[in-house]
Amino acid sequence: MLGFLTGLFWVAVVVIAALAAGWVFRTAAIAVAPKKVAKALRTAPLTASFGMLMILVYIVVAIFAPLIAPFGETEVVSVRNAAWDDQFLLGTDNLGRDLLSRLIYAARNTVGIAFVTTALAFIVGSVLGLLAATIGGWFDQIVSRAVDVLMAIPALIFVLLLLTIVGQSIINMILVIALIDSTRVYRLARAVAMNIVVMDYVEAARLRGEGLWRLITREILPNAMAPLVAEFGLRFCFVFLTISALSFLGLGIQPPLADWGQMVKEFSGLITFGIITPLLPAGCIALLTVSVNFVVDWQLHRASGLKE
């Protein structure tokens, strides 16, 4: 019981600290941002502000990783599994590399890979989806049936199969995961766009003789943006999970590159003995996921036009 109460207390402390950080960030951002942005920022709830702050921190860490990390990414600096101390703030990993440095470098690799993969999946998926909805007819039929087939094969097993065939490299991994992910994006984009293409204003634009490209970028995309952005938030974090699951099944990122998904897998056995090291990379993934989705929620809320 006491343990539960202490736990609750710490959760409350963390939540309040996070919200306070969000508030500070929002106030500061409003002060320095241009007028238009500042106005939008004023509507941001504290959770979204906290999310933006965290995303900013991740970006900074990723870009300046070599400057921030106390040791090199692959440098063996101590004995294996060293405890937390002043020199190695989070101890060392199973090869004696500084864990904090690995986590920092992983921000660069993991977020980079996840971002490229998700972006690729969204470009391919939404372009095809919007085209299918707008053109319709045989184009829609062919692409939709092809996507149906691809989706009918379990994603993880399909990735496993494709990666074994094409060989393992970061590029291949990005391409294969993006291919599988893009089918999910396609479905969503097409479904959303289908509801939009029947609207009067799209019909009117068609009659005005607007070209296909203009029709999509000017009339349909802006109105389909909200659900797509919401999906982006979730898809983004699913990439970490896919990489992690792949390394569970024996594939994954090329060593000695640091990657959170892989690190969770490597350390996960320790949790059995009540050692919290594996929670660190998992926490990095979770924090980023939550942050991104807080911001997404705020944007969705703005897009829904709901006044509260």
Partner 1 sequence: MSHILKMIAQRLALGLVTLFVVSLIIALGTELLPGDFAQERLGQSATPETVAALRAQLGLDQPFHIRYLTWLRDIVTSGDFGVSLANGNPVTEQISERLRYTLWLAFYAAAISVPLSLTLGILAALFRNSFFDRFANASALTSISFPEFFVAYILIFLLAGAGGVFPSMVNFRTDPTFSEYLYRAFLPAITLTLVVTAHMMRMTRAAIINLLASPYIEMARLKGIKPMRVVLRHALPNALAPIINVIALNLAYLITGVVVVEVVFVYPGLGQLMVDSVRVRDMPVVQGVALIFAAAYVLLNLTADVLATLSNPRLVHKR
Partner 2 sequence: MTRLTSFASPSRRGVLKGATAVGAAALVTPWGTPLRAQPVRGGTLRMGMAYGSTTDSFDPGTWENDFMIFQAHTRNNFLTEIAADGTLVPELAESWEASDDATEWTFTIRSGVEFHSGHILTAEDVIASINYHRGEDSTSAAAPIVADITDMRADGMNVIFTLANGNADFPFIMSDYHLPILPAREDGTIDPLTQDGCGPFRIVEFEFGVGASYARHEGYWKEGLPYFDALEQISIFDSAARQNALISGEVDYIDTADLNTVHLLEQAPGVNVLSITGTQHYGFPMDTRAAPFDDVNIRLALKYGINRQQLVDTILNGYGSLGNDHPIGPGQRFFNTELEQREYDPERMQFHLREAGLESLDVDIHLADAAFAGALDAGVLFAESAAAGGINLNVVREPNDGYWSNVWMQQPFCGTYWGGRPTEDWMFATSYAEGVPWNETYWSHERFNELLVSARAELDESLRREQYFEMQQIVSDEGGIIIPMFAAYVGAYSDSLAHPDQIASNWRNDGHRLGERWWFAS
Three-state DSSP class for residue 224: helix
Whether residue 110 contacts residue 261, with contact meaning beta carbons closer than 8 Å, is answered with yes
Please give the residues from 157 up to 186 whose contact with partner 1 meets the rule CB under 8 A.
Answer: 157, 160-162, 164-165
- Sequence-distant (≥ 6) Cβ neighbours of residue 231 within 8 angstroms: 184, 185, 188
- Closest distance to partner 1 from the beta carbon of 185 (Å): 13
Q: How far apart are CA 85 and CA 17, in angstroms?
A: 25
**From 8-16, 123-131, 206-214, 252-260, span contacting partner 2 (CB under 8 A):** 252-260
How near is the Cβ of 194 to partner 2 at its closest, in Å? 40
79 binds, among partner 1, partner 2, none (CB under 5 to 8 A by kind): partner 2
Considering beta carbons, is residue 160 or 205 the nearer one to partner 1? 160
State the binding partner of 76 from partner 2, partner 1, none, CB within 5 to 8 A by kind.
partner 2
d(CA 146, CA 134): 18
223 binds, options partner 1, partner 2, none, Cβ within 5 to 8 A by partner type: none
Task: Give 104 or 264: the residue with its C-beta nearer to partner 1.
Answer: 264
252 binds, among partner 1, partner 2, none (CB under 5 to 8 A by kind): partner 2
Q: How far is CA 216 from CA 7, 89, 224, 230, in A?
A: 51, 51, 10, 19
- Counting Cβ atoms within 10 Å, is residue 171 exposed (0-12), middle (13-18) or buried (19+)? exposed
Which residue is associated with the tokens 């607007």? 210
- Rounded to an integer, what distance in angstroms lies between the CA atom of residue 242 and that of residue 20? 33
Q: Which is nearer to partner 1, 91 or 278 (CB)?
A: 278
Cα–Cα distance measured from residue 51 to residue 294, given in angstroms and rounded to the nearest whole number: 6
What is the rounded CA–CA span in Å between residue 185 and residue 148? 12
The interface with partner 1 within residues 1-60 (CB under 8 A) comprises: 45, 47
Question: 98 by DSSP, 3-state: which?
Answer: strand
Q: Which of residues 251-290 bind partner 1 (CB under 8 A)?
A: 261, 264-265, 268-269, 271-272, 274, 278, 282, 285-286, 288-290
Partner in contact with 210, chosen from partner 1, partner 2, none, beta carbon below 5 to 8 Å by kind: none
Tell me the CB-side half-sphere exposure of residue 198, using CA atoms within 13 A. 5
How many residues belong to the site for partner 2 (CB under 8 A)? Answer: 26
Q: Taking CB under 8 A as the rule, does residue 168 contact partner 2?
A: yes
Beta carbons of 261 and 236 less than 8 angstroms apart: no
Cα angle for residues 270, 286, 242 (degrees, 5° grid): 80
Site residues, partner 1 (CB under 8 A): 45, 47, 145, 148-149, 151-157, 160-162, 164-165, 227, 230, 234, 237, 240-241, 244-245, 248-249, 261, 264-265, 268-269, 271-272, 274, 278, 282, 285-286, 288-290, 293-294, 297, 300-301, 304-306, 308
Site residues, partner 2 (CB under 8 A): 74-76, 79-80, 94-96, 163-164, 168, 250-256, 266, 268-273, 275
